[in-house]
Amino acid sequence: MKFSHYYEELITERRYSDDKFEVITKKMPNWLLDEFGGDPNMVVRMPMYSDFRKYLLDRGEDVTNNEDVILGFSYLEDWLNEIDGRLSQKFLTLISQRYPVISEKIKNWNKPDDWVKGPRGRKPAEGSLKKLEDQYEKMQDDLEKHVMKMRELMRQINQRRSYFGKNE
């Protein structure tokens, strides 16, 4: 085995599990549509654009302009599953490197689409406020019970002092 083949395998190693790959390839057409929908001419900057365009031509699709290529995104999942696994991994890697919005969507592939990244760490919430209030009320009840016990003990002490004549 030549070193160049080994090096190429290292570079294009598999980054996505089967589940993640399946979900990403299903969502990728919509993500790319969001990216290129405003300006269809930008689709030519997409990684492996010529390979995908050739795939569409081989399928018999009419791709005379860039808008036709964008319409062909409905076949993107099929294309990614039909090409060599290393090439599809390379495509997803290049897409995530070039388009930061899509990269974030790939990172959050198993989260709902409306999920928003929250602040780090544990932030106070309404549930934590209720929990603290409950703890305070419990401690207040315990304190009242102890004060009542202390008063009862003081009453007994004073009663016995007066019995023995030691009212100090």
Q: What is the DSSP letter of 26?
A: H
User: pLDDT of 21-34, one tens digit each?
Assistant: 888 889 899 998 88
Q: Which of 32-36, 58-62, 87-91, 162-166 has the lowest mean pLDDT?
A: 162-166
pLDDT in tens, 117-160: 777 766 767 778 888 899 999 999 999 999 999 999 999 999 98
User: Measured in Å, how far apart are the chain's first and last C-alpha atoms?
Assistant: 101
- Compute the mean pLDDT over every residue in the chain, rounded to the nearest whole number: 84
Residue 73: CB atoms within 10 Å: 20
**Residue 49: which H helix or E strand, with range?**
helix 49-58
| pLDDT (mean) for 44-68 | 89
pTM: 0.59
Question: Of all helices (H) and strands (E), which one includes residue 141?
Answer: helix 126-164
User: What integer pLDDT is reported at residue 152 of this predicted model?
Assistant: 95
Instruction: Report whether pLDDT(87) > 80.
Output: yes
What gap in Å lies between CA 163 and CA 156, rounded to an integer? 11
Q: What is the pLDDT of residue 13?
A: 55
